[in-house]
């Protein structure tokens, strides 16, 4: 099945009534200015280099309302622009801006336009075109200058009380440092799977919220001829006192090869648990991830998995890996409103990578984060965020994830209109 978006969208736009009050009156827009500095220095003895870039990005989102009638039609536009401030070919690409794979030359500027048609009936909505899914099966990555986008169709329904239904079909991806749609592929980090591509991805999902403090979700997806994946999540907040909460976040994935199994054998069950204790401005979170089965957890190239335990340059998803993490967050709202800080430590053991050094390998990551959202009315929408991370492992030198020290700095400003 191939979606002929080049035909559908122009016909869709021409079919809209010229005069539609709700279409105009309910429209909204935003423009985000994002300044992003990225510096990852690899620390292994081979001195393979450094990934370093400084860029400026602009993300314009224009969302229409819907035309009048039982079935409403709408249109969303997204314009993305990346501008190089500093980007030296002596450094490895950072993923912030398009880079020539051979010469390492950065593009001076790069822009793209996304168009999404939408159809609404009661509390159900269908989107066609540029989409940004965010669920346990496929997630649009926002971890660089510009977001990762996809080409496809998404369906969402909230017509049933306390239940949300989702479905999607995706056939192309536009990566964070690209302006072109490409075929999706599986992540092959650390030689986990064969390099292989998928013509399409489809998924079904649902969320059930029996109360405002509890939510369950269930998803199932097929990445054509690569793997099939089921995912279950559970979130709960329990109030001990007015100022004290217990937080629970449990997630489960089961993945196996699908169809022609172009990526090779896939056999993984991933269990994650995050347990938080929140008292006033303090939040302490203990987490674990357990990988079972013969292979690593599969996911699509250029993105991430929806995990609480995330290590930026390290994914902690190797075969048989056992992961433990502690994180502490503090909100300075009583002293400096808008200021937050976090510190964390992640340890992975029992890693099975015979081709990279053995079957009892280990890795770890330490990180610190400071974020400030300006509260003054004339600076509302301006935020500053800095992150510093160190990672280490005892893998062989040809590993994908190498020991490194990393700094990221973001300055974001969002105008809403």
The Cα–Cα gap between 219 and 136 comes to 7
Cα–Cα distance for residue pair 367/329, rounded to 1 Å = 12
Alpha-carbon distances of 186 from 142, 144, 256, 266, 271, rounded to whole Å: 18, 19, 13, 11, 20
CB 55 within 8 A of CB 87: yes
Strand 382-393 relative to strand 214-223, pairing: unpaired
> Tell me, what's the pLDDT at 23?
87
**Residue ranges for the chain with pLDDT beneath 70:** 1-21, 45-47, 310-311
Strand segments (E) across 186-321: 197-198, 201-211, 214-223, 227-241, 244-257, 267-279, 282-292
Q: Look at residues 320, 266, 267 and name the one whose alpha carbon lies nearest to residue 289.
A: 320
Residue 367 belongs to what H/E stretch? strand 358-373
pLDDT at 64: 96
- pLDDT computed for residue 311 by the predictor: 64
According to CATH, where is 2.40.160.10 located in the chain? 1-182, 223-417
Give the per-residue pLDDT at 49. Answer: 81
Spatial CB neighbours of 224, under 8 Å, sequence gap ≥ 6 = 198, 199, 200, 201, 202, 258, 259
Check residue 168 and report its DSSP letter.
E
Tokens (6 digits) for 268: 């993984």
If DSSP codes are grouped into helix, strand and coil, which group holds residue 396?
Answer: coil
CB contact at 8 A, 229 and 255: yes
Q: What is the pTM of this model?
A: 0.91
The two three-digit tokens of residue 143, written as one number: 């971890």
Give the pair of three-digit tokens for residue 337. 């409103």
Owner of token pair 């002293």: 335
38 touches 143 (CB < 8 A): no
- Indicate the burial class of 416 (C-beta count within 10 angstroms; 0-12, 13-18, 19 or more): exposed
Q: How high is the pLDDT of residue 377? A: 83
Nearest in space to 393 (alpha carbons), one of 318, 343, 296, 337: 318
Where is 39: in which H helix or E strand? strand 28-42
- State the pLDDT at residue 45: 63
Residue linked to tokens 């629970």: 248
SS (H, E, C) 81-130: EEEEEECCCCCECCCCCCECCCCCCECCEEEEEEEEEEEEECCEEEEEEE
**Are the C-beta atoms of 238 and 214 separated by less than 8 Å?**
no
Cα–Cα dist 24/412, whole Å: 28
Q: Please say whether the structural domain 1-182 has been given the CATH code 1.10.540.10.
A: no
- The kind and range of the H/E element at 50 are strand 50-63
Give me the pLDDT at residue 7, please.
47
Query: Exposed e or buried b for every residue in 265-300, given b needs 16+ CB within 10 A?
Result: ebbbebebbbebebeeeebebebebebebebbbbbb
Q: Decide: residue 60, CB within 10 A, 0-12 exposed, 13-18 middle, 19+ buried.
A: middle
pLDDT number for residue 2: 43
pLDDT of residue 25: 87
User: What CA–CA distance (Å, rounded) separates 301 from 307?
Assistant: 16
Fold classified for 223-417: Porin (2.40.160)
E-assigned strands of 258-321?
267-279, 282-292
């Amino acid at each position: 099945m191939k979606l002929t978006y080049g035909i559908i969208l122009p016909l869709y736009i021409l079919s809209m009534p010229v005069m539609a009050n709700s279409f105009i009156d309910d429209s909204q827009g935003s423009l985000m200015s994002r300044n992003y500095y990225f510096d990852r220095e690899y620390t292994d003895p081979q001195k393979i280099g450094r990934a370093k870039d400084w860029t400026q990005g602009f993300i314009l989102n224009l969302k229409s309302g819907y035309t009048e009638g039982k079935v409403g039609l709408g249109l969303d536009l997204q314009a993305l622009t990346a501008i190089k401030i500093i980007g030296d070919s002596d450094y490895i690409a950072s993923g912030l801006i398009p880079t020539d794979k051979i010469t390492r030359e950065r593009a001076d500027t790069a822009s793209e336009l996304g168009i999404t048609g939408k159809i609404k009936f009661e509390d159900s909505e269908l989107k066609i075109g540029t989409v940004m899914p965010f669920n346990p099966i496929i997630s649009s990555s926002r971890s660089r200058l510009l977001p990762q986008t996809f080409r496809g169709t998404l369906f969402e329904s909230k017509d049933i009380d306390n239940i949300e239904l989702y479905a999607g079909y995706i056939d192309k991806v536009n990566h964070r440092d690209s302006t072109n749609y490409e075929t999706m592929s599986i992540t092959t980090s650390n030689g986990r799977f064969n390099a292989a591509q998928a013509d399409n991805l489809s998924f079904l999902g649902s969320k059930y919220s029996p109360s405002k403090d509890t939510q369950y979700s269930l998803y199932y997806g097929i990445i054509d001829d690569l793997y099939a994946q089921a995912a279950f999540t559970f979130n709960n907040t329990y109030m001990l006192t007015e100022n004290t909460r217990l937080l629970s976040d449990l997630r489960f994935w089961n993945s196996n090869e699908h169809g022609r199994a172009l990526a090779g054998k896939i056999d993984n069950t991933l269990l994650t648990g995050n347990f938080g204790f929140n008292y006033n401005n303090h939040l302490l979170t203990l987490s674990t991830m357990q990988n079972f089965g013969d292979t690593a957890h599969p996911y699509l190239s250029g993105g991430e998995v929806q995990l609480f335990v995330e290590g930026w340059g390290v994914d902690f998803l190797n075969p048989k890996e056992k992961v433990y993490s502690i994180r502490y967050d503090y909100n300075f709202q009583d002293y400096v409103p808008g200021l937050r800080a976090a510190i964390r430590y992640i340890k992975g053991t029992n890693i099975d990578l015979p081709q990279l050094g053995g079957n009892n390998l280990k890795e770890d990551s330490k990180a610190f984060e400071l974020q400030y959202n300006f509260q003054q009315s004339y600076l509302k929408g301006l935020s500053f965020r800095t992150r510093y991370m160190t990672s280490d492992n005892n893998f062989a030198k040809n590993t994908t994830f190498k020991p490194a020290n990393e700094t990221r700095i973001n300055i974001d400003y969002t105008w809403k209109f």
